[in-house]
Amino acid sequence: MSTLRIATRLMPPVLAILLAQQAFAQAVDPAPAELPATSRWRGPIAADAGLLLGLPAALETGQTAGVAAGVTGTGTLTWGARASWSRANEDSLLWSVTHNELRLRALAVLQSRIGRGTVALRLAAGGTAVNEARDRHQAARLTQSGAGLATSAWLFVPGGEVELAVFLRIGGEWGLAVAGGPSAHWVSGGLQPGWLTTLGVAWLP
């Protein structure tokens, strides 16, 4: 089962667990009307890392898969930063094409703590570096013809994502992180839409 399907199936039950825990906590021990700002969070920065799956930045077909990691500040409206590396492979009649993507993002984050978890809306913007490597099929037959057998080039494109992220504390300060949402890149004078999802672990102080 792909990471995208796993993340899509996990997000609704994780949200349901968080809401149920919050309702149970309020029923057993109702919270005061106002809480001190320092009581909502125990640390200045949360972090997460895991598997990434999505649509490539500069390929019209296929999937890109890799790893991602990020940090997020605390508070209701805060900042964050993320980085990811992923790879996509596609084949045509003549070429085998590989795209390695490095995404660097700055985040604006709106988040709320619910029970043992946190729900966040992340707006990400930054740049994506794409390395395209092309290898010609049946290269051995073309060696003496003088035809190019392989090419490599770099492409830098602006991009961004809008992601819904859910974090659930499992034990102590460690938990599960699930996130996903639409992405977009500006490629060759046009907007190329896509999708990005991550599934991993989180450190939630």
Nearest one of 7, 4, 3 to 178, comparing CA atoms: 7
List, for residues 71-84, the tens digit of each pLDDT value: 999 889 999 999 99
Q: Note down the domain range covering 10.
A: 3-24+44-88+100-126+158-200
Kindly state whether residue 121 falls inside one of the protein's structural domains: yes
Kindly state whether residue 152 falls inside one of the protein's structural domains: no
Kindly state whether residue 137 falls inside one of the protein's structural domains: no
Q: How far apart are the first and last CA of the chain?
A: 31
Predicted pLDDT of residue 44: 78
List, for residues 100-131, the tens digit of each pLDDT value: 999 999 999 999 998 888 999 999 999 999 99
**Interatomic CA distance for residues 56 and 70, integer angstroms:** 20
Kindly state whether residue 144 falls inside one of the protein's structural domains: no
Kindly state whether residue 139 falls inside one of the protein's structural domains: no
Predicted pLDDT of residue 149: 72
H/E stretch holding 141: helix 139-142
Q: Is 205 helix (H, G, I), strand (E, B) or coil?
A: coil
Q: How many domains does the chain have?
A: 1
Kindly state whether residue 67 falls inside one of the protein's structural domains: yes
Kindly state whether residue 77 falls inside one of the protein's structural domains: yes
Kindly state whether residue 189 falls inside one of the protein's structural domains: yes
